Structure 1
Amino acid sequence: MKQKIGVIFGGKSVEHEVSIITGLQVVENIDKSKYEAIPIYIDKDGNWYYGENLKDVKIFTLWEKNKKKAKQFFPSFDKKDGKNILNKIDALVIAMHGNYGEDGKLQGLLEFVDVPYTSSGVVGSGAGMDKIVMKSIFEGMDLPVLPYLWFNRDDWTKNQKELINKIHYTLNYPIFVKPANLGSSIGISMAKNEEELINAIEIAISYDKRILVERGVEKAVEVNCSALCKDGEILVSTMEEPVKWEKFLSFEDKYIKSNSKSKGGMSSMSRKIPAEISNEIKSHIEKYTKEIYRTMDCKGVVRIDYILDDDRTKVYVNEINTIPGSLSFYLWEPSGIKFADLIDILIKEAITTNKDKERNIVRYDSELLKKLGGAKGSKR
């Protein structure tokens, strides 16, 4: 009997459309001899739907008109709720990007309802979403990161001049300004002078209250590496070198200006696979990738992005994506792991990890309440 696998995508995120692409890629490429894929869609208002019609991308182009073609449900905690599709699946492939899907919120819900899922857990997802927390973890691991500052939206409103002076004193141009909790290059800008810096910060604070300001590298090279866990072993993928860093990748570069003949999504970007780097740099990246995956308690497939200086002799850890676009399938295919195989690995790991929780003691019976004797309002 085929296992029923939910594939969840969409969500209340500015990366909503990107998530739809990844979700439909999974539905299309899952091994249909083993699994029955059930698409689950969260619309931009947070409403949940499922149904066969969600396998067609055209339904989302006029969603308000077409949503009656899907079945709406509510993800309740009632295991006896026959309308809750989460009660009818064996595992869930998370193809969500950004807030409310990649940041630990959805993962927390799935932990409560005890549904196996393919992404990192609550802690790994939350830390991997917030670029400020993420950088702090990398520094704590003694990994090389570029100099940075961070502040809140209120700090900028109250102390703009002071923050600009601090940035000038600490960092050199070019400078990248990033919302702490977004991906897909949304809200990210590169500044080469004070005027551009102010404009970049104004853009970033419209997306998030926490802002990361980071020193850029002239003529930098970006190298990305994916990782996953198979049978208890952390594996790293072939590395890629996207377009040069001075051609900063905007949202449109990544997802819109693509070759229509390609598989779409992140797989359609211009890139070199494998990346043209020395064996020494490759070894560093492999080591860092495995360390980050283990330390952040990652699960499923992740992609970690690195920045190299112009002569390709120094590497910096940039960020982790705990649910990368297109699940980074294109980085695993050169290693002989096809997209269907990748999905299969993720599903098996999700089920195994969820079953492993049974080994944890989650209940402890004590005599505490009896000793209190039912006393009311006692405070100390």
Structure 2
Amino acid sequence: MRTRVAVIFGGVSVEHEVSVISALQAIQNMNQDKYEIIPLYISKDRVWFTGEEMLDIENYKDLKGLLSKAQKVVMARTEDGKVVVQKEPRPRFGKSILSEVDVAFPIIHGTFGEDGVLQGFLELLNVPYVGCDVLSSSTGMDKVIMKNIYRDSDLPVLDYVWFYSTQWTEDPEAWTTKIKEKLDYPVIVKPANLGSSVGISKAENEEELEEAVDLASKFALKIVVEKMVQNMTEVNCSVLGDYEHVEASVCEQVLGSDEFLSYEDKYAGGSKDGGASKGMESTNRVIPAEIGDGKTKEVQEIAKKSFQMLGCSGVSRIDFIIDNDADKVYINEINTIPGSLSFYLWEPAGKPYKQMLDELIQLALKRERDRGRLMFSIDSNLFSLQTGGSKGSKGSKR
């Protein structure tokens, strides 16, 4: 019997389209003899759909028409403990359950998918799922918390200042002064909880800083301002594994059209028609990165440490900045559900995409077995021990 894998994609995020691309690539490369694939698409207005129609990228050009043909569904847990995909609304007559689910495979980038929200829902359903858990997902998504943890763990990060957009609005001059004193210009301004370079811009003076903060504030309440390395090399490295064992991929050297890699560089630059046809692997890049064996090993070791420091699982991509003048490596960010799942970084090392996907699913099932040995609740009823009604902390101890 094949393992039933629910691949969840789309979602409420500015990276919605990238998620669709990544998920359909993964589905096309899964071992169909071993896995039964259940596509679960989440629309931008939070409605779930399934159907064979969801598997053809061309159908998404007419999204309204596609969703009119697809079946609305929900994931739910039945009374006998099974996790199922069922029609929504449930029909009065006939079969409502379309399929059972053995393991979920979230491939949603950005908010409500990569930040622990979806993972929390899957935890409540008590279904095994691929990738990072709630804590590592939310920590990896929030650049402020991520940087704080890495800094306090003696892992290299660039100097930064962070604030809430309301704090900036209340006293922009104070924050401008702080940024000038601690970082100086130029700086990079980022929303704290988005990926794919959305809302990111450079500022070389106070006027540009104000514009950059205004842009970032449209996407997030929390803003990060970092010192910009001007003579830099951008390098990415993927890590696969869990808390017990990890391995690092080959490194890639990413070539953007500006000082930092933009959304267009990542998802439009490599497409002949200007569309996001391939995801991150369409970006201009050099594989393996031309940084020498010593720097490559340094990046790989830091990547593995940063992965396990957050308690990650599955596959992540850690993005680095190398300051060529200071000859120093800095962690830029971790992507807990990277675009294209970074398969292009594993294939050069002899790990085909199909094999990598199989390992990811097996890691999800391993985590479920590991957790099965833990105690999450106590089989007792404290209410039955009380006498004389509720007495709070001074009640009966019997």
Relative to 1, partners in 2 of residues 1:374 and 1:223: Cα closer, same or farther, differing over 3 Å? Answer: farther
Q: CA deviation at 1:232?
A: 4.6
Q: CA deviation at 1:222?
A: 0.8
Bigger drift between 362-371 and 97-106 goes to 362-371
Relative to 1, partners in 2 of residues 1:365 and 1:114: Cα closer, same or farther, differing over 3 Å? Answer: closer
Matches within 5 A, 1:32-111: 32-78=32-78, 79=81, 83=86, 88-111=100-123
Structure 1, residues 132-179: CA drift from partner, whole Å, max 9, x if none? 000011012111111000000110111111111111111122201000
Residue 181 of structure 1 corresponds to 193
Residue 339 of structure 1 corresponds to 353
Bigger drift between 259-268 and 139-148 goes to 259-268
Q: 2-side partners of 1:326 and 1:333: how far apart?
A: 12
Structure 2: which amino acid aligns with 1:338?
P
Structure 2: which amino acid aligns with 1:16?
H
Matches within 5 A, 1:147-166: 147-166=159-178
Preserved CA contact (<8 Å) 1:119 1:322: yes
Q: 2-side partners of 1:34 and 1:165: how far apart?
A: 59
Q: Which runs of 5+ in 2 are unaligned?
A: 88-96
Q: CA deviation at 1:377?
A: 5.8
Q: CA deviation at 1:263?
A: 7.0
Does structure 1 residue 328 correspond to structure 2 residue 331?
no
Preserved CA contact (<8 Å) 1:306 1:319: yes
Residue 309 of structure 1 corresponds to 323
TM-score by length of 2: 0.90
Relative to 1, partners in 2 of residues 1:283 and 1:366: Cα closer, same or farther, differing over 3 Å? Answer: same
Relative to 1, partners in 2 of residues 1:113 and 1:374: Cα closer, same or farther, differing over 3 Å? Answer: farther
Relative to 1, partners in 2 of residues 1:129 and 1:89: Cα closer, same or farther, differing over 3 Å? Answer: same
Structure 1, residues 263-311: CA drift from partner, whole Å, max 9, x if none? 7110110001111113332222222111122121111100001110124
TM-score by length of 1: 0.94
Bigger drift between 133-142 and 262-271 goes to 262-271
Structure 1, residues 233-283: CA drift from partner, whole Å, max 9, x if none? 201000000015844221111111213499711011000111111333222
Residue 300 of structure 1 corresponds to 314
Preserved CA contact (<8 Å) 1:152 1:209: yes
Preserved CA contact (<8 Å) 1:222 1:245: no
Q: 2-side partners of 1:129 and 1:32: how far apart?
A: 32
SS at match of 1:8: strand
Relative to 1, partners in 2 of residues 1:124 and 1:245: Cα closer, same or farther, differing over 3 Å? Answer: farther
Of 363, 366, 375, the residue aligned with 1:349 is 363
Relative to 1, partners in 2 of residues 1:7 and 1:58: Cα closer, same or farther, differing over 3 Å? Answer: same
Q: 1-side partners of 2:106 and 2:367: how far apart?
A: 15
Preserved CA contact (<8 Å) 1:5 1:93: yes
Of 204, 216, 221, the residue aligned with 2:228 is 216
Q: 2-side partners of 1:269 and 1:175: how far apart?
A: 24
Q: 2-side partners of 1:204 and 1:114: how far apart?
A: 36
Residue 116 of structure 1 corresponds to 128
Q: 1-side partners of 2:41 and 2:388: how far apart?
A: 47
Q: 2-side partners of 1:272 and 1:263: how far apart?
A: 19
Preserved CA contact (<8 Å) 2:120 2:134: yes
Residue 11 of structure 1 corresponds to 11
Structure 1: which amino acid aligns with 2:203?
A
Structure 2: which amino acid aligns with 1:319?
E
Bigger drift between 78-87 and 208-217 goes to 78-87
Relative to 1, partners in 2 of residues 1:90 and 1:367: Cα closer, same or farther, differing over 3 Å? Answer: closer
Relative to 1, partners in 2 of residues 1:379 and 1:124: Cα closer, same or farther, differing over 3 Å? Answer: same
Q: 2-side partners of 1:230 and 1:207: how far apart?
A: 31
Residue 270 of structure 1 corresponds to 284
Q: 2-side partners of 1:239 and 1:216: how far apart?
A: 22
Bigger drift between 126-135 and 89-98 goes to 89-98
Q: 2-side partners of 1:193 and 1:310: how far apart?
A: 23
Relative to 1, partners in 2 of residues 1:198 and 1:167: Cα closer, same or farther, differing over 3 Å? Answer: same
Q: CA deviation at 1:376?
A: 2.8
Relative to 1, partners in 2 of residues 1:263 and 1:82: Cα closer, same or farther, differing over 3 Å? Answer: closer
Q: 2-side partners of 1:354 and 1:53: how far apart?
A: 31
Relative to 1, partners in 2 of residues 1:378 and 1:59: Cα closer, same or farther, differing over 3 Å? Answer: same
Bigger drift between 21-30 and 244-253 goes to 244-253
How many residue pairs align between the two structures? 380
